[in-house]
Amino acid sequence: MKPEFFRNISVRGAEFPLFVVRVPAGFPSPADDYIENTLDLNDFLIEHPAATFFVRVTGDSMTGAGINSGDILIVDRALTPRSGSIVVAILNGEFTVKRLSCVNGKIFLLPENPAYDPIEITDGSGFEVWGVVAHVIHTVR
Amino acid sequence: MKKAIALVDCNNFYASCERLFNPSIKKRPVIVLSNNDGCIVARSEEAKEIGLPFASPYFKVKHIADKHGAAVFSSNYTLYADISRRVMQVLSFFAPEMEIYSIDEAFLSLAGMNCDFTEYGRKIKKTVYKWTGIPVSVGIASTKTLAKCANHLAKKDRSITGGVLDLTCCDTGPFLEKADIGNIWGIGPAYASKLRERGVYTAADFITLDEKWVKSSMTIMGLRTLLELKGRPCISLDDAPPPKKGIVTSKSFGRLTDSLQEMEQAVSSFASRCSEKLRAQRGFASVVTVFIMTDRFKEMPQYADSLSASLPEATANTPVIIRYSIELLRRLYREGYRYKKCGVMLSGIVTGNNLQMNLFLDKGYRGEPVLMNTVDSINRVYGSGTLFYASSGIEKPWGMRRELLSPAYTTKWSDIVEIGG
């Protein structure tokens, strides 16, 4: 049996023409007026397509890191989590997004909102880093 | 140069895919059901331990699943195909040549690589898990059949092997003794029971057999298996399989039906799917078979039959195949029964250069190959079922039942995972 392949996760219609002209003032030179290339957001946002997943955030514990409820996170599992990385973690059977912190051999999941308390990981059995958050997509409309 | 092939196989693939996006079921038994939530097609290790048998009808073992709090899912093929694509993409980084063997298995050629294969296999396993979240087992050996064997043993003795077993550097004998004849790649259940009657229980027993006897009683395919187990490569990577002898599309209805019209729609839709598969392998079919059956698990009047038609000329034209399929169905259909399943099979498949033309055939019969190619390419680009035949029906009340379907986590924006922050 050969598998049926679906095309890669693609941001549809994400090819924006890149103009090389700069317009500080006055008229653009007609000679510069050609399309050089197209920009694909996938190139910019997705380093490892096979390892990249999208998830949506609910809750406000990370607003200080610019992650708001309803935002979409681009999670790259190929990245190695380090102290300071924002990660999607599994804690006691549930997903959560927090900043990972390793201090003096202790592991913490830190919220970025004073209304929430840091979580110290004391029992490793229910804890796992699922992936590292690489980008946040926040819609301003 | 040492010849080495790795077989990488995903562990309990469908169950692992479901777990990836559902951490709450990490420690619970997980089972995945076939189309229409009929039989168990995938089990996590925990589900195997509580004795849920593979392929058993779900309703028969539901009480066991409920007792142990098993998580039960309908097959989410969209999700599995996307995760499979990711796994294969990661695997492609590890070898210059690779053959995707099924949705959850691939052969990698490690020929000419100068490294510790066990170490390399562990690296493959670790990377695939890190990138995609899917656990795999790796078997490495000098032939494809031995690699299959190694993979099986790597899985079976996971506590010792850690899921990776390399047979290239050691005597394969002791390992072949552990490989049951029924689990050897290329030996089907019929040959396996025939061999057991002759006292051949393991791969080690099998390789002591006389090559001539194996060739005469198990065909050249059996001989290839024998030689491969002895470490002589006979099946190369990407050995294109011969065109399939028969193509079947068949599904159970979401609910029992006695309506001929609904069944005509189903048969028409299966016929067009079959024709698509036929064209994908550049074949032409000479025989169309339709079969129908009632639900054998229910206490009600039972009826099952099939009927074939040989076509005046081998064809890959969807309208022709639909016309014959519907005519066959009308002849099979009996009133007073409630049907569970029907299917269409194409056989007598020949390739273009073996096509026997019929001199007396009306030109209209052949149809337009250009039209078929156009339909196929539109459906390839815009998704299967974008263009379909009206005879297949639009609402499809007979469609599949998937009551326990998980979201399309990776292919639909509305279905991506929600995470508490």
The A-side interface with B (CB below 8 A) comprises 1-6, 8-9, 48-51, 53-62, 67, 69, 72-73, 77-78, 88, 90, 93-98, 128, 130
Bridge-partner residues for A103, per DSSP?
A: A106
Chain B: residue whose CA lies nearest to A116: B421
Give bridge partners of residue A52 from the DSSP assignment: A76
Q: Which residues are paired to B71 by β-bridges?
A: B30
Average pLDDT over residues B9-19: 95
Contact assignment for B23 to A94 by CB distance below 8 Å: yes
d(Cα A55, Cα A49) in Å, to the nearest integer? Answer: 15
Instruction: Select from B23, B82, B85 the Cβ nearest to the Cβ of A90.
Output: B23
How far away is chain B from the Cα of A41, in angstroms, using its nearest Cα?
A: 16
pLDDT tens across A92-102, in order?
Answer: 899 999 999 99
Average pLDDT rounded to a whole number, residues B186-198: 88
CA B31, chain centre distance (Å): 17
CA distance B141 to B169: 9
pLDDT in tens, B209-242: 999 999 988 888 889 999 999 988 888 876 544 5
Q: Which residues of B touch A78 (CB under 8 A)?
A: 130-131
Mean pLDDT in chain A? 80
pLDDT-derived band at A20, boundaries 50, 70, 90? very low
Give the gap in angstroms from C-alpha B81 to the nearest C-alpha of chain A.
6
* Helix/strand/coil for B328: helix
Nearest-CB residue to B84 (from A3, A55, A90): A3
**Which of B114-118, B136-140, B173-177: highest mean pLDDT?**
B136-140
CB–CB contact A97 B419 (8 Å)? yes
Interface contacts (A, B; CB < 8 Å): 101
pLDDT band at A36 (very low <50, low <70, confident <90, very high): low
Q: Do A95 and B417 touch (CB under 8 A)?
A: yes
- Evaluate if residue B244 carries a pLDDT over 80: no
Nearest to A56 among B86, B411, B418 (CB): B418
Active site residues of A: 61, 98
The set of residues, in sequence order, having a beta carbon less than 8 Å from that of A34 and lying 6+ positions away, is A20
Mean pLDDT of A67-81: 96
- This complex has an ipTM of 0.76
- Give pLDDT, residue A37: 64
Which is nearest to B73 in space by CA: B132, B159, B14, B11?
A: B14
CB contact at 8 A, A48 and A26: no
Give me the helix-helix angle, B211-229 and B144-156, nearest 10°: 60
Query: In whole numbers, what is the pLDDT of chain B averaged over residues?
Result: 87
Residues of B in contact with A125 (CB under 8 A): none
Identify the band that residue A29 occupies on the pLDDT scale cut at 50, 70 and 90: low
